[in-house]
């Protein structure tokens, strides 16, 4: 009998989503991540949960509808990390005509659900707070509703929820060899110790390393995919309103400007082919200048490359079709041969459809587990509430009782609401929560939304 029903290699958003869905169906799951959770492309996303207006222009209506349906699912299961916001598209005389933008947003409302978010509207920003940060020629703007998310925290919450459902999350463990028979036999180095486990199925969700893992660890042909680099820049805050601006650039692309860590603005994104080591990703000077010029066309305050506080870049794979055409929808390949343990290879895709991709992947496996102790027959639970309960926080933060007490007191509170002195005292959290979590968001944990009671001060 195998040690586990499913072994997942890779601790990014795809990996933890698969682990959570499988564990929710009663499968014995282990996730193996050589670094930290969300340490690569999963912490360098656009931080948007949306339907992607650019897909409407390409007439990808089914995809937009699926994305908007997943947006509503995330709003229901994770309201503490997925935040609704109003998106603003200023009208530009040199870009798309107003009637086209109105048509987009009308169709966007039709494809989505109006029960949770307000419908689109036309706004005169001449004497409106939305126009304070914009140049004077912009008098009309179009508003619509979408959501933003903390990408790293979403990965962490998925991992914690998977652990609460029985999954084993092993960070700092590297799979060095996988032998395929009627079960998978995996050899891994877990924090300096060699360990051999067996699993009835394997999921390769290593992102930019998918091809390398397939060739060197699994010793199988690599999938047809191309490496894509996505980059963004962080600059000092350019506007005071709590909304996201969507700018039409001269090349037809849409550029997003969203609030970031209270005192900054995130501008992005740019994409292009990538060659090299995915662990070493750097944004080019041309891409930085491109985003600065795009923002300067709209904002009253010019954005210069010297204003860039940091760059955010990540590499992921995208399916490559015949002729070299790259599709960024994400890919899931299910390989089940006779007398061979099944293999799932999943890469690419955006944050919005991550839960749906994982649900479809695990659904391909469930027929293999029926009539064996009832595993795999539980209903799909990836649509259930995504929250770290107090007991989950206690186990994940057992090494730091101060952070565990805050988590138990505020089980669904945003990390932005946690007192800053709590964050400074918990230096070990980054190693557990992924992506250097404490170091990355320390500036974002402020005491403005949480009263400093006498109990808080004791922590």
Q: Look at residue 370 in the predicted model and tell me its pLDDT.
A: 65
pLDDT band at 308 (very low <50, low <70, confident <90, very high): very high
For residues 133 and 158, state if they share a domain: no
pLDDT band at 399 (very low <50, low <70, confident <90, very high): very low
Q: Are strands 202-204 and 343-347 parallel, antiparallel or unpaired?
A: parallel
What is the C-alpha separation between 250 and 234, in angstroms, rounded?
21
pLDDT band at 450 (very low <50, low <70, confident <90, very high): very low
For residues 75 and 116, state if they share a domain: yes
For residues 230 and 215, state if they share a domain: no
Number of domains the chain is built from: 4
For residues 173 and 234, state if they share a domain: no
What is the C-alpha separation between 20 and 27, in angstroms, rounded?
10
Q: Residue holding tokens 């994400």? A: 330
Is residue 334 in a domain? yes
Is residue 380 in a domain? no
For residues 220 and 232, state if they share a domain: no
For residues 235 and 310, state if they share a domain: yes
Is the pLDDT assigned to residue 383 strictly greater than 60?
yes
Which is it for the CA torsion 82, 328, 40, 343, positive or negative? positive
Q: Look at residue 328 in the predicted model and tell me its pLDDT.
A: 62
For residues 256 and 297, state if they share a domain: yes
Is the pLDDT assigned to residue 17 strictly greater than 90?
yes
Quick check: 151 and 440 in contact, CB under 8 A? no
Is residue 192 in a domain? yes
Look at residues 148, 172, 187 and tell me which one is the last residue of a structural domain: 148
For residues 314 and 334, state if they share a domain: no
Higher pLDDT, 26 or 409: 26
Is residue 343 in a domain? yes
Q: What is the mean pLDDT of the chain?
A: 82
Is residue 52 in a domain? no
Question: What value does the mean pLDDT take over residues 380-390?
Answer: 59
For residues 220 and 231, state if they share a domain: no
For residues 220 and 337, state if they share a domain: yes
What is the C-alpha separation between 177 and 145, in angstroms, rounded?
47
Residues whose CB falls within 8 Å of the CB of residue 240, separated by 6 or more in sequence, listed in order: 129, 132, 133
Is residue 58 in a domain? no
What is the C-alpha separation between 117 and 89, in angstroms, rounded?
17
What is the longest distance spanned by two Cα atoms in the chain?
70
pTM of the model: 0.83
Q: Look at residue 318 in the predicted model and tell me its pLDDT.
A: 86
Which residue range(s) make up the domain with 207? 6-42+153-224+328-368
pLDDT band at 458 (very low <50, low <70, confident <90, very high): very low
For residues 281 and 429, state if they share a domain: no
Look at residues 116, 148, 180 and tell me which one is the last residue of a structural domain: 148
Q: Look at residue 322 in the predicted model and tell me its pLDDT.
A: 57
pLDDT band at 54 (very low <50, low <70, confident <90, very high): confident
For residues 217 and 230, state if they share a domain: no
pLDDT band at 327 (very low <50, low <70, confident <90, very high): low
Is the pLDDT assigned to residue 324 strictly greater than 80?
no
Is residue 445 in a domain? yes
Is residue 194 in a domain? yes
Look at residues 148, 166, 189 and tell me which one is the last residue of a structural domain: 148
Q: Look at residue 331 in the predicted model and tell me its pLDDT.
A: 86
CATH number of the domain bearing residue 139:
3.30.9.10
């Amino acid at each position: 009998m195998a040690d586990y029903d499913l072994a997942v290699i890779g601790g990014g958003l795809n990996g933890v989503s698969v682990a959570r869905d499988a564990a929710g169906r009663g499968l014995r799951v282990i996730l193996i991540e050589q670094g930290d959770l969300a340490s690569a492309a999963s912490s360098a996303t656009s931080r948007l949960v949306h339907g992607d207006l650019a897909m409407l222009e390409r007439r990808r209506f089914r995809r937009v509808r699926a994305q908007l349906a997943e947006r509503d699912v995330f709003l229901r299961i994770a309201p503490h990390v997925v935040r609704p916001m109003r998106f603003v598209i200023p009208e530009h005389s040199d870009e798309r005509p107003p009637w086209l933008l109105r048509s987009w947003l009308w169709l966007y409302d039709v494809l989505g659900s109006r029960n949770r978010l307000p419908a689109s509207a036309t706004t005169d920003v001449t004497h409106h707070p939305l126009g304070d940060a914009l140049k004077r020629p912009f008098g009309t703007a179009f508003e619509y509703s979408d959501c933003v998310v903390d990408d790293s925290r979403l990965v962490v919450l998925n991992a914690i929820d998977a652990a609460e459902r029985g999954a084993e999350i092993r960070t700092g463990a590297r799979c060095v060899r996988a032998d395929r028979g009627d079960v998978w036999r995996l050899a891994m180095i877990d924090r300096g110790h060699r360990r051999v486990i067996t699993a009835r199925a394997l999921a390769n969700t290593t992102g930019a390393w998918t091809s390398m893992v397939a060739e060197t660890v699994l010793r199988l042909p690599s999938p047809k995919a191309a490496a894509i680099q996505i980059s963004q820049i962080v600059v000092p805050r350019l506007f005071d309103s709590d909304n996201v601006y969507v700018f039409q650039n001269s090349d037809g692309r849409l550029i997003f400007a969203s609030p970031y860590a209270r005192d900054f603005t995130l501008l992005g994104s740019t994409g292009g082919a990538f060659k090299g080591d995915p662990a070493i990703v750097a944004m080019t000077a041309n891409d930085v200048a491109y985003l600065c010029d795009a923002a300067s066309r709209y904002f009253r305050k010019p954005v210069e490359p010297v204003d860039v506080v940091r760059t955010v870049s990540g590499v992921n794979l995208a399916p490559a079709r015949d002729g070299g055409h790259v599709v960024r929808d994400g890919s899931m390949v299910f390989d089940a041969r006779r007398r061979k343990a099944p293999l799932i290879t999943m890469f690419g895709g955006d944050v919005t459809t991550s839960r749906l991709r994982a649900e479809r992947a695990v659904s391909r496996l469930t027929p293999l587990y029926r009539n064996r102790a009832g595993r795999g027959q539980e209903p799909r639970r990836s649509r259930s509430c995504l929250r770290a309960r107090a007991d989950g926080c206690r186990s994940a933060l057992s090494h730091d009782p101060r952070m565990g007490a805050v988590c138990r007191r505020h089980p669904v509170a945003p990390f932005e609401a946690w007192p800053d002195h709590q964050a400074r005292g918990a230096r070990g959290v980054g190693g557990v929560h992924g992506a250097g979590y404490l170091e990355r968001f320390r500036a974002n944990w402020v005491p403005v939304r949480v009263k400093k009671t006498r109990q808080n001060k004791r922590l």
